[in-house]
Amino acid sequence: MSELHDTSRRAFLLGASAAMAVSATSAMTTSGAGGAGAAAAPDTTSPAADDTALLNLSAVEAVAHMSEGSLTSERYAQALLARCQAAKALNAFIALDPARVLEAARTRDRERQAGTKPGALFGLPIPVKDSVNTRDYPTTAGTPALRHFQPAQDAPVVAALRTAGAIVLGKTNLHELSYGWTSNNLAFGAVHNPYDQSRIPGGSSGGTAAAIAAHLAPLGIAEDTEGSIRVPAAFCGIAGFRPTTGRYSTEGCVPISALFDQIGPHARSVWDLVLFDSVVTKDWRALEATPLKGIRLGVVRDYWFTDLDPQVERLTRLALTRLKDAGAEIVETQLPGLGALIGATTYPVQNHDVRLALARYLKEYATGVDLEELIARASPDIQRVFRSDVLPGGENFVAEAAYVAARDQHLPTLRRLYQDYFARTGVAAMVFPTTLVPAPRIGEETSIEVRGRSLPFDVAVARNIAAGSTAGLPGLVLPIALTPAGLPVSMEFDAPAGTDRALLALGLSLERVLGRLQPPHV
């Protein structure tokens, strides 16, 4: 573990140039380097005067300070918990136990005082999407029937983070059963967008995204089957990374389809995404930002750039200009047949597999609930979609022949289409606006007006993200600007399958050019 820790310190603290000046650290301590024993009694009801500096730390910075003892884990946890309380109206969490978080933080401080070498995530509280199993919190998947389900052990990804020294900062709210893009959860309440609380944060990982955007934590666990990492990242103005399908284990995660499901991180900086990736994959090779000069970025206008909201179109155009000015080459071409392949693959696979995968999960993890009861107790909106699209007898039920064609014919064809595209063009990544519109209002979930034309909600929110996750590609979402109304707009960069580290290295340079957003006023 010490070798991994030393490697991570070199790779991140030197490479990111992220550590704060020594003069600033004195404002972050409650008792010098003495540790948790001398800390004042915790106050988690309101932020302290010096909490702002702590809340603005990246995960890399926070871990560096806690590892060296210039900041205690307990003091940092106090600051985050106070922020969670102050931003409670966002409804980002389903479960949060401050006493448990603080005790875990004190344990980290005692370990450091005893001479234990800190792990790569030492003392870092991390919010976990409430569809990912945790041994010390229920895993509800945002649905009533699992409200009291307590897994016996952590999902492997959670276990890896804990082994590296992380602390679970509660379970975040989500779209019920991860089956939607709004996080307007009728069972546990809607999650609110930190930039405008009348609007959705995106889904299904809306609680994690809202928490990261509002500085409740710097790094969190999300999950993406068809946009559930990337849509919330886009609407909340943060960085989101969906790895190549299969890069991280999805064991212990409430499933939709093994062909598409993928856990991944939300953060406010690409270096924090790199840190997460290194911990989970145990890949500690040093990573340097890939220079943009000469990098080829692919643009397919006749699919990803049509029907855009005027502000999304304007800000995307300006961002592409910034990338070109930084030396990137924009390669324009087409992908004939892409739309038809997505239509024949994405929904048929998901709506077929979820019925079987959910039933297996409920049995394997001894939830005490079967699929019939789960759906019978689900919220009305989820019941409607399952009865229409998932369960036998529904008008859109996926017949086995259609599923086999989607899995064995259309999906391989889609993957070859992408492989041929990347080989033919030599682009490092495709680039496009993540969503067609900024965050819609809560309740605006049927259709959205764009340029005087009504677009179906799923087209406006999910059309652009569906292709990459269906094909299993790694996708990186980065914010580019705020609209005049103060809503985030983002771009997605999709790279060839298996090139995750290269995409993250590219992302370091992309982030420098595109910048970061001003945090929301919550």
Q: Which of 58, 228, 490, 509 is catalytic?
A: 228
Question: In this predicted model, what pLDDT tens digit does every residue of 192-233 receive, in sequence order?
Answer: 999 999 999 999 999 999 999 999 999 999 999 999 999 999
Q: Does residue 67 carry a pLDDT above 60?
A: yes
Predicted local confidence at residue 50, as pLDDT:
77
Question: In this predicted model, what pLDDT tens digit does every residue of 478-508 receive, in sequence order?
Answer: 999 999 999 999 999 999 999 999 999 999 9
Least confident of 22-36, 124-138, 241-255, 347-361: 22-36
Q: How confident is the model at residue 14 (pLDDT cuts 50, 70, 90)?
A: very low
The long-range contacts involving 453-460, CB below 8 angstroms and separated by at least 24 positions, are: 453/307, 455/307, 457/181, 458/181, 459/307, 460/307, 460/435, 460/436
The distance from CA 440 to its chain's CA centroid, rounded to whole angstroms, is 19
Helix axis angle, 270-281 to 156-163, nearest 10°: 100
Q: Which of 204, 269, 469, 490 is catalytic?
A: 204
* Residue 379 preceded by cis peptide, ω within 30: no
Is residue 74 within 8 A of residue 62, CB to CB? The reply is no
Q: Which helix (H) or strand (E) holds 475?
A: strand 475-482
Question: In this predicted model, what pLDDT tens digit does every residue of 267-277 receive, in sequence order?
Answer: 999 999 999 99
Predicted local confidence at residue 204, as pLDDT:
98
Q: Which of 494, 488, 341, 505 is nearest to 429 (CA)?
A: 494
143 half-sphere exposure, CB direction, 13 A CA radius = 27
Enumerate residues 6+ apart whose C-beta is below 8 A from 321: none
Q: How confident is the model at residue 56 (pLDDT cuts 50, 70, 90)?
A: very high
Question: In this predicted model, what pLDDT tens digit does every residue of 162-175 receive, in sequence order?
Answer: 999 999 999 999 99
Domain boundary assignment for the chain: 89-522
Question: Which numeric CATH code is attached to 89-522?
Answer: 3.90.1300.10
Q: Does residue 395 carry a pLDDT above 50?
A: yes
**pLDDT, mean over the chain:** 92
Is 379 among the catalytic positions? no
Burial 324-336 (b: 16+ CB within 10 A, else e): eebebbebeeebe
Residue with the two structure tokens 């014919």: 409
Enumerate residues 6+ apart whose C-beta is below 8 A from 207: 91, 92, 93, 94, 127, 129, 130, 172, 173, 174, 183, 191, 201
The distance from CA 82 to its chain's CA centroid, rounded to whole angstroms, is 23
Is 129 among the catalytic positions? yes
30 half-sphere exposure, CB direction, 13 A CA radius = 22
Task: Report the amino acid identity of residue 443.
Answer: G
Enumerate residues 6+ apart whose C-beta is below 8 A from 184: 175, 190, 191, 200, 203, 442, 443, 445
Is residue 272 within 8 A of residue 59, CB to CB? The reply is yes
Q: Does residue 43 carry a pLDDT above 80?
A: no
What is the spatial distance between Cα 277 and Cα 271, in angstroms, rounded to a whole number? Answer: 10
Q: Which of 58, 129, 171, 269 is catalytic?
A: 129
Strands 93-95 and 239-242: unpaired
Is residue 472 within 8 A of residue 415, CB to CB? The reply is yes
Strand partners, 449: 454
